[in-house]
Structure 1
Amino acid sequence: MAKVILTPHRKKRIEKGHPWVFKTEIEKIEGNYSPGDLVEVYDFKGKFLGRGYINPLSQITVRILTRNKDEEIDRNFFKKRIEDAFEYRQKLGFNGSFRLVYGEADFLPALIVDKFEDVFVIQTLALGMERFKDVIVDILRKMFQPRGIYERNDVPVRELEGLPLTKGCLYGNVPEKILIEENGLKLYVDVINGQKTGYFFDQKENRLAIGPFVKGAEVLECFCYTGSFALSAARFGAKKVIAFDSSREAVELARENAALNGFEGIIEFHEGNAFDVLRHFYKSGKKFDVVILDPPAFAKNKQALEGAIRGYKEINLRGLKILKPGGFLITSSCSHHVDEDLFWEIIESAAWDAHVTLRVIERRTQAKDHPILAASDETRYLKFFILQVIK
């Protein structure tokens, strides 16, 4: 097995528990290897730091799987890690539908597994994990006896690993729409054509948290996708909800979800660009009690950061301007490159331009089935604020 020797003058991220070895941290590689192979990682003095898979095409050259020199990376290894991930979620009360494996935070770097009742959706986002895909599918099949297992490996990050974009059924059969339950709501999920794996479990607890703020309120939601926040608002007693998304398919599924829960008379779903929608309501003078903003990641890499800051500033500024005095802005960012401090700076700047004073009610993050690895800031990405506007 090849040995990766690290440079002497680097930060001690890896020793503190971070699972990534960047190309710039490598002094030399001893021995032969092929991309995707398992390798051992040592510091400059020869101390063993871990074993993981290597891909010289990627800036993240090695992803560490174990720090135990005697632990074999085989079927039993993956079975134990998946069992541990399931046990953790069972202990916290997750059942039915949830994220079963969250990559690095479950010590399986670049592996995502979402459970939608009896259907599983997986993503293998790095070459080394791709090599174990068949093993992982077989473990899931034997552990859970699912109806089907589907891969959503049609995500651009795979191209950084030299992997093709692909999706399809790996086991059993997978219907286009799956019915799940979350927080007392029934929801159809499209795991075949929906965004990412089809649904965003990371906001589950935040959808519960909006309850006290929407009762009896007139609510606007932008970036509604298939309607989970809008449906939550209706369930918690909102008087009226108007929700927009730029995807026609998402809006159609959101309308089905409203009908499924008997909320057709409370929620209106419309196709529309959020920037245009917010601008329209501002110009018309329309005001809301609550504005919910749950956009996709505006900064998927560092190069996009400047544009993302402008985008977040604009939507939050316009959201603040159409709130009634005492109203609530419920806003989030899932861009890792926009950390919490920067996101708060953006919101403060928007509040200054809107000539409002903000009261912070809650600062939240992702649901517990997306655990945060203390040594890996990349695993903590979701920022979620509930703010009251004082004018």
Structure 2
Amino acid sequence: MTEPSFALPTIRLKPKANARAIRHGAPWIYDNELVTDRRTKALAPGEIARLEDAERTFLALVAVNPKSRIFARVLDREETARIDADWFAARLGTALAHRERLFDAPFYRLVHAEADGLPGVVVDRFGDTCVIQPNAAWADGRIEPLAEALRAVTGVATVVMNGTGRARGLEGLPEETRVLCGAVDGPVPVPMNGATYMADLMGGQKTGLFYDQRPNHAFAQRLAGGARVLDVFSHVGGFALAALAGGAAQALSVDSSAAALDLAGKGAQAMGRADDLATRRGDAFDVMAALAGEGARFDVVICDPPAFAPAKPALEKGLRAYERVARMAAPLVREGGYLGLCSCSHAADLDAFRASCNRGIGRAGRSAQLIHTGFAGADHPLMPQLAESGYLKALFYRLMP
């Protein structure tokens, strides 16, 4: 159990730091905003501390990590709070109440980090199993009480810790995936938008499936009736399986991962559409170039690449990559067909992403109508004070004759 607040170490904002932003809900405090000395730099990653403003007024209980640019993350604004299993249970209960109002089956993102009051923590639910990504040192060090509270609140039998990804590296944390309780016997079937996805909870990307695209899959289904669909960067069949569930005649999934494409095929089989899904393994750009050379054309083309601009230093290169995706995908769309382009990059805001896509379509010699802009689903809430929590953008165009 966490020590009482009076026994906790104290860190303090510099006089010119924006204490008002913290009071108004900002969740992060960077290393250059704090008075740092040997004592503060010696704090253990994940340790709980009191945060004060320059006038020594209490602001929040925070989790610190001197190894990270984000030196402190706000956990609670009550000075008497204890960060223990009961505290976790209260946060998880609030998050669960929202998801149970949204969904009639237990397949969703249960915790979306700062937006759900658990900084750096992602929890995805797959029926009777939850997968935790503890992407901050404070949560990694408290994974046992977090898992205990998760089981108590949700009633799930199995909890998996997926400790992989770029965010953990920024926190100085090792990569590690293990079953905390229960058992995982193989891929888990996940119903979503009438499709069936097979999620690899132990070896797949992130937690095994991307729930954030659910509303964009649903929109794509409205375009897919009777269509021939191309899904580039398909992972386990994202848009392709959604399109087949929406009545598409055929779908082609393109991905560099043989394992992901195998799961896409198993999903199509579970839906009774195995004969209508084709897969093509390879670099997405190489495959799009080959398809163009073959004269292939599709009624609907959707590209959902990985984050090309995960941070500001990669922004210009990332935006050029998004432009290239649009330029290469547009010629594959028949006249009057539809093109969907997605970005999960934190650093590329909607305006910049849209401008890159528009340039790419124009450079391909195509004219287009922008017909829909989509975002992540309501189980991925946006924290108003943290732009990074609203990372997903999806643009749908109609390419004109």
Name the aligned partner's letter for residue 177 of structure 1.
Answer: P
Could you tell me whether the CA contact under 8 Å between 2:196 and 2:241 is conserved in 1?
no
Q: Quick one: which of 19, 28, 38 aligns to 2:27?
A: 19
Query: What's the secondary structure of 1:346's corresponding residue?
Result: helix
Q: Secondary structure at the match of 1:306?
A: helix
Q: Distance in 2 between the 1:59 and 1:33 partners? A: 14
Match of 2:142 in 1: 132
State the AA in 2 paired with 1:248. Answer: A
Q: Distance in 2 between matches of 1:35 and 1:273?
A: 39
> Partner letter of residue 64 of structure 1?
V
User: Once the two structures are superposed, what CA deviation does each residue of 1:100-159 show, in whole Å capped at 9, x if it has no partner?
Assistant: 111101010011111111011111111111121110111122233323111110223223
- Equivalent in the alignment of 2:5: none
Once the two structures are TM-superposed, the CA of residue 84 in structure 1 deviates from its matched residue by 0.4
Moved more, 3-12 or 119-128: 3-12
CA–CA distance in structure 2, aligned partners of residues 7 and 356 of structure 1 = 53
1:355 is paired with a residue of what secondary structure? coil
Question: In the TM superposition, what whole-angstrom CA distance separates every residue of 1:159-193 from its partner, at most 9, and x where no partner exists?
Answer: 32222211111101112211221122222211011
Between the two proteins, the alignment pairs up a number of residues equal to 391
Q: Hey, what's the Cα distance between the residues in 1 that align with 2:256 and 2:129?
A: 27
The match for 1:9 is: 16
2:191 equivalent in structure 1: 181
Mapping 1:33-44, distance limit 5 Å: 33-44=43-54
The alignment partner of 1:265 has SS state of helix
Task: State the partner residue of 2:180.
Answer: 170
Q: Deviations over 1:49-108 (max 9, x none)?
A: 211111111000001011122333222211100000001111223532111111101010
Cα RMSD after superposing both structures: 1.7
- Contact kept, 8 Å, 2:113 with 2:120, in 1: the verdict is yes
SS at match of 1:210: helix
Whether 2:350 is the aligned partner of 1:350: answer no
Deviations 1:222-274 (A, max 9, x none): 01111131111111111221111110111111111111101122221221221
Q: Find the aligned partners of 2:319 and 2:64 in 1 and give their Cα distance.
A: 34
Alignment partners' CA distance in 2, 1:268 and 1:175: 27
Cα deviation for residue 291 of structure 1 reads 0.5
Amino acid of the structure 2 residue aligned with 1:85: A
More displaced 10-residue stretch of structure 1: 178-187 or 24-33: 24-33
Alignment check: 8 A CA contact 2:86 2:149 kept: no
The CA distance in 1 between the partners of 2:244 and 2:142, in whole Å, is: 43
Distance 2:349 2:124 in 1: 25
Unaligned runs of 5+ in 1: none
Separation (CA, whole Å) in 1 of partners of 2:303 and 2:12:
46
- In structure 2, how many angstroms separate the alpha carbons of the residues matched to 1:77 and 1:267? 46
* Distance in 2 (alpha carbons) for counterparts of 1:156 and 1:350: 28
From 285, 308, 319, the counterpart of 1:298: 308
Q: TM-score, normalised by structure 1?
A: 0.95
Secondary structure at the counterpart of residue 215 of structure 1 = coil
Secondary structure of the corresponding residue to residue 350 of structure 1: helix
For the 8 Å contact 2:296–2:332, the answer to whether it is kept is: yes
Q: Do the aligned residues in 2 keep the contact of 1:326 with 1:388 (CA within 8 Å)?
A: yes
3-state SS in 1 of match to 2:273: coil
Distance 1:244 1:58 in 2: 36
- % identity of equivalent residues: 32
| Counterparts of 2:279 and 2:228, CA distance in 1 | 14
State the AA in 2 paired with 1:18: A
Is the contact made by 2:43 and 2:65 (CA closer than 8 Å) also made in structure 1?
no
The worse-fitting range, judged by mean Cα deviation, of 185-194 and 58-67 is: 185-194
What's the TM-score, normalizing by structure 2?
0.93
Following superposition of structure 1 onto structure 2, how do residues 338-377 of structure 1 map, counting pairs within 5 Å? 338-377=348-387
Residue equivalent to 2:273? 263
C-alpha separation in 1, matches of 2:399 and 2:334: 8
8 Å CA contact retained: 1:123, 1:151: yes
SS in 2 for 1:13: helix
**Any residues of structure 2 matched to 1:129-208 within 5 Å, and which?**
129-208=139-218
Partner Cα separation in structure 2 for residue 262 and residue 308 of structure 1: 38
Structure 2 letter corresponding to 1:367: G
Q: Once the 2 structures are TM-superposed, how far is the Cα of residue 28 of structure 1 from its aligned partner?
A: 4.2
What code does the residue aligned with 1:298 have? F
TM-superposed CA distance for 1:303, in Å, is: 2.8
Letter of the 1:334 partner, please give it. C
Distance 1:140 1:264 in 2: 36
Shift of residue 352, structure 1, vs aligned partner: 2.2
* Deviations, residues 264-308 of structure 1 (Å, cap 9, x unaligned): 222212212210111112223222211110111112233322322
Task: State whether residues 196 and 268 of structure 2, in contact with CA within 8 Å, keep that contact through their aligned partners in structure 1.
Answer: no
| Contact in 2 for aligned 1:294/1:332 (Cα 8 Å) | yes
Superposition deviation, residue 16 in structure 1: 2.7
* In structure 2, distance between residues paired with 1:156 and 1:287: 36
Measure, in 2, the Cα distance between the counterparts of 1:64 and 1:94: 32
Q: Which residue of 1 aligns with 2:101?
A: 91
Contact persistence 1:156–1:165 (CA under 8 A) = no
1:217 equivalent in structure 2: 227
Q: SS of the residue aligned with 2:71? A: strand
Give the secondary-structure state (helix, strand or coil) at the position aligned to 1:203: helix
Establish whether residue 73 from structure 1 lines up as the match of residue 83 from structure 2. Answer: yes
